[in-house]
Amino acid sequence: MSASSPTARPIAVVVLAAGKGTRMRSALPKVLHPIAGRPMLGHALAAAATLAPARAAVVVGHGAEAVGAVAEAALPGARICLQAQQKGTAHAVLAARAMLEGFAGDVVILYGDTPFIAPGTLARLVAARAGAAVAVLGFEAAEPGRYGRLVLGGDGMLDRIVEAKDATEDELAIRSCNSGVMAADAATLLRLLDRVDCDNAQGEYYLTDVVGLARAEGLACRAVLCDEVETMGVNDRVELARAEAIYQARARHEAMLAGATMTAPETVFLSWDTVLGRDVTIGPSVVFAPGVRVADGAEIRAFCHLEGAEVGEGAIVGPFARLRPGARIGAGAHVGNFVEIKNASLGDGAKANHLTYVGDASVGAGANLGAGTITCNYDGFDKHRTDIGAGAFIGVNAALIAPVSVGANAYVATGTVVTRDVPEDALAIARVPQENREGSGRRLRQTLKARKAARKDKPDRA
């Protein structure tokens, strides 16, 4: 976590991530379901990090160990607070009491299943808090439905928040809705939370009640509105798919504006950390899993899958290629159809154009791997490396039994199984001598034909 600006009040962030997410119907905690290859909680914590919080807490409950591990990785230094029983949002915030007590600053409360809040929106929320005891983030809903309503007073200040199940008919007609995200002075928040009761339809302790309690004390409360999509919560698989679609549409749009070409953008899927250079061209039905960087001028052709890989300037990948973690493709290199590369590097200008597996290997600049080349890297217990020198030529249907090396500018003949190192400029040939037996093909065909006929004539047994 970064230090706050010396001219601003310090900020503590509390991210609520304790819910089970029953509607997901999943063994995986709801906040760990991914959007663009990153857990929803990771997206929420990335937004929290933009506030440069002096303190941070993630409140966990269901799947506490797994959720806590993701939180600690995404926001190092965050305190993991357990809410053993889920009794409402106010009760959840109080699980972080130890972190908040004595804190002279503002508290921002976020949710682990709300992945799209923009940094600028959070900055506006914190700025609004400076003129009030409590600031609440809301939105104008097209269909308010089950959302809590923001009830404003005659002075335009936020008067109270009413949950839909507790609202009157007039209150249900209000279109300004509560997102749940809130900013408040830490000391004021703790004092108000201690006064929240569970006298409501759900029998829970609502965080929203602090607004009414603050107003009853004559304290000012404000509402800050943002786009409804920013406050979208994900509660089931349908909403998860919608969130993925929203993320992908935004990511594609930004990538194309930044200089990438997508011939069928609606079929391309990007990860949260995908990096595309200028003049990159991406064909239809390409999937970028996490950890992919593509340099300027490279082309990723149709139906490729890339994960944890780097593609160099001007390289061509695909169609129908798979780059697995640790793949490093040099400038101007070619990776063709039905080629898989894992934990291996192709040097500048190297080619593996057809039906090839390169695993745990290095391929030098300008080397050429023929169709059906296999680096046999696994012996059932350990992985072993293959090193192929610059300018080497590997013939069609060659198998290289690792650990083994092929020297620079060496040739490996078609159909060869390489079991020993090949020196620089050498030619390696390892084939069983071919034997042609006159007439044996005809006799073999007749034998097989008779055998098949005998099977057909044999009566079935009951």
pLDDT in tens, 171-193: 999 999 999 999 999 999 999 99
Which pLDDT does position 459 carry in this prediction?
A: 67
Interatomic CA distance for residues 23 and 20, integer angstroms? 9
Average pLDDT, the chain: 94
**Residues belonging to the chain:** 462
pLDDT level of residue 77 (50, 70, 90 thresholds): very high
In a domain, 433, yes or no: no
Which pLDDT does position 203 carry in this prediction?
A: 84
Domain boundary among 176, 204, 231: 231
Helix or strand (DSSP H, E) at 128: helix 119-129
Tokens describing residue 167: 């609202």
Reported pTM: 0.90
The catalytic residues are: 354
In a domain, 396, yes or no: yes
Residues 185 and 257 in one domain: no
Residue pLDDT, tens place only, 232-255: 999 999 999 999 999 999 999 999
Residues 66 and 123 in one domain: yes
Which pLDDT does position 5 carry in this prediction?
A: 45
Residues 134 and 256 in one domain: no
CATH number of the domain that residue 211 is part of: 3.90.550.10
Which pLDDT does position 461 carry in this prediction?
A: 57
pLDDT level of residue 90 (50, 70, 90 thresholds): very high
Residues 205 and 73 in one domain: yes
Phi-psi sector, 193: left (phi>0), alpha (psi -120 to 50), beta: alpha
In a domain, 128, yes or no: yes
Residues 258 and 399 in one domain: yes
In a domain, 226, yes or no: yes
Among the listed residues 112, 101, 107, the one whose alpha carbon sits nearest the alpha carbon of residue 44: 112
CB 31 within 8 A of CB 40: yes
Which pLDDT does position 4 carry in this prediction?
A: 44
**pLDDT of 349 higher than 60:** yes
Q: Which percentage of the chain shows pLDDT scores above 70?
A: 98
Tokens describing residue 385: 């490396």
CB 406 within 8 A of CB 400: yes
Which pLDDT does position 6 carry in this prediction?
A: 42
Residues 168 and 286 in one domain: no
In a domain, 355, yes or no: yes
Residues 87 and 66 in one domain: yes
In a domain, 203, yes or no: yes
Domain boundary among 213, 231, 249: 231
Number of structural domains the chain divides into: 2
DSSP letter string, 63-111: BHHHHHHHHHHHSTTPEEEE-SS---HHHHHHTTHHHHTT--SEEEEEE
Count Cβ atoms below 10 Å from residue 287 Cβ, excluding itself: 17
Interatomic CA distance for residues 245 and 33, integer angstroms? 14
Tokens describing residue 138: 């809301």
Residues 245 and 363 in one domain: yes
Residue pLDDT, tens place only, 157-175: 999 898 888 889 999 999 9
Question: What is the domain range of residue 189?
Answer: 11-231
Among the listed residues 344, 396, 393, 387, the one whose alpha carbon sits nearest the alpha carbon of residue 367: 393
CATH number of the domain that residue 319 is part of: 2.160.10.10
Helix (H, G, I), strand (E, B) or coil at 224: strand
Please tell me the chain's helix, strand, coil percentages from 3-state DSSP, rounded to the nearest 5.
Answer: 25, 30, 45
Distances (CA, A) of 19 to 40, 132, 235, 284, 388: 13, 30, 10, 38, 52
Residues 66 and 140 in one domain: yes
Which pLDDT does position 221 carry in this prediction?
A: 96
Residues 38 and 90 in one domain: yes
Residues 264 and 314 in one domain: yes
Q: Which percentage of the chain shows pLDDT scores above 90?
A: 86
Q: Which amino acid is at 54?
A: A
Tokens describing residue 114: 């709300």
Residue pLDDT, tens place only, 428-453: 999 888 899 999 999 999 999 999 99
Average pLDDT over residues 195-224: 91
Residues 260 and 221 in one domain: no
Question: Strands 176-185 and 134-140, how do they pair?
Answer: antiparallel
Which pLDDT does position 460 carry in this prediction?
A: 63
Interatomic CA distance for residues 449 and 446, integer angstroms? 5
In a domain, 5, yes or no: no
Domain boundary among 209, 231, 253: 231
In a domain, 440, yes or no: no
